[in-house]
Amino acid sequence: DAGVIQSPRHEVTEMGQEVTLRCKPISGHDYLFWYRQTMMRGLELLIYFNNNVPIDDSGMPEDRFSAKMPNASFSTLKIQPSEPRDSAVYFCASRPGQAISGANVLTFGAGSRLTVL
Amino acid sequence: AQSVTQLGSHVSVSEGALVLLRCNYSSSVPPYLFWYVQYPNQGLQLLLKYTTGATLVKGINGFEAEFKKSETSFHLTKPSAHMSDAAEYFCAVSGFNAGNMLTFGGGTRLMVKP
């Protein structure tokens, strides 16, 4: 398996522009998570999905952020409009469901580094 | 409810010296405990985990951690640091149900001096 695939790896954009980050989880994983990492706030859980359904989005900072998972193999995190304070590394992670051994082990993607000027 | 505290956001050791990264947790249910490592410009990867059974857990690259329930700790150690161990290390806790989410500590950046 190729692991969790994220794109783009780096994104530089200007304030006000729309940003879309993409994630392909590991095949067969029922849970998908979006995290944000910054120096100031560390690793923050933004939202997670179970079987493509958003379960908890309480970590999404504001309405400018939205996430979707249209099918089991693809998710997007969108920021519209982007602001300089959104600059961070965004990680996607996935894991199996309860019935499978290692259910609580997250596998992370390599991250998308976003810079908003 | 659960939480993780990692003592020391930065730890510096000399090459060949003992590595000790501290982690204390709180959990209202029996915990699963994890250490993840993040190398520069990479995602987090699992170093080791404790679920049940033996309290001393061995992981990759010579690291190990011991679950001490009485101390609510899960400290990470390595007898001899190598330059390649320089990275950020995250301790995490979850409940034993798959529905329980991982809670991460704030991370400890390990620096290894030649």
Q: How far apart are CA B104 and CA A90, in angstroms?
A: 15
Residue to mutate among B33, B97, B102, with most A CBs inside 10 A, is B102
For residue B4, the Cα-to-chain-centroid distance in whole angstroms is 10
Q: What percent of chain A has pLDDT over 90?
A: 77
Q: How far apart are CA A4 and CA A73, in angstroms?
A: 10
pLDDT (0 to 100) of residue B112: 97
Q: Which of B21, B4, B3, B2 is nearest to B85 (CA)?
A: B21
pLDDT confidence tier of residue B100, bands split at 50, 70 and 90: low
pLDDT confidence tier of residue A102, bands split at 50, 70 and 90: low
pLDDT (0 to 100) of residue B14: 97
A43 and B90 within 8 Å at the Cβ level: the answer is: yes
pLDDT (0 to 100) of residue B53: 84
Tokens 């997007």 -> residue: A76
Q: Is the pLDDT of residue A103 over 60?
A: no
CA distance A99 to chain B (A): 8
Q: Is the pLDDT of residue A20 over 70?
A: yes
Contact call for residues B95 and B27 (beta carbons, < 8 A) = yes
B95 → chain A, closest CA residue? A104
A111 and B42 within 8 Å at the Cβ level: the answer is: yes
Which chain B residues are Cβ-neighbours of A32 within 8 angstroms?
A: none
A108 and B100 within 8 Å at the Cβ level: the answer is: no
Name A114's bridge partners. A11, A88
Summarised one tens digit per residue, pLDDT across range B18-76 is: 999 999 998 877 788 999 999 998 999 999 999 888 899 999 999 999 999 999 999 99
Q: How far apart are CA B35 and CA B76, in angstroms?
A: 8
Q: Is the pLDDT of residue A99 over 60?
A: no
- Terminal CA-CA length for chain B: 41
Summarised one tens digit per residue, pLDDT across range A58-92 is: 999 889 999 999 999 999 999 999 999 999 999 99
Q: Is the pLDDT of residue A100 over 60?
A: no
Report the mean per-residue pLDDT for chain A.
92
Q: How far apart are CA A67 and CA A77, in angstroms?
A: 4
Which chain B residues are Cβ-neighbours of A43 within 8 angstroms?
A: 44, 90, 104, 107
pLDDT confidence tier of residue A98, bands split at 50, 70 and 90: low
Which chain B residues are Cβ-neighbours of A103 within 8 angstroms?
A: 98
Task: Give the three-state DSSP class for A26.
Answer: coil
Contact call for residues B105 and B92 (beta carbons, < 8 A) = yes
Residue of B100, B102, B107 with shortest CB distance to A106: B102
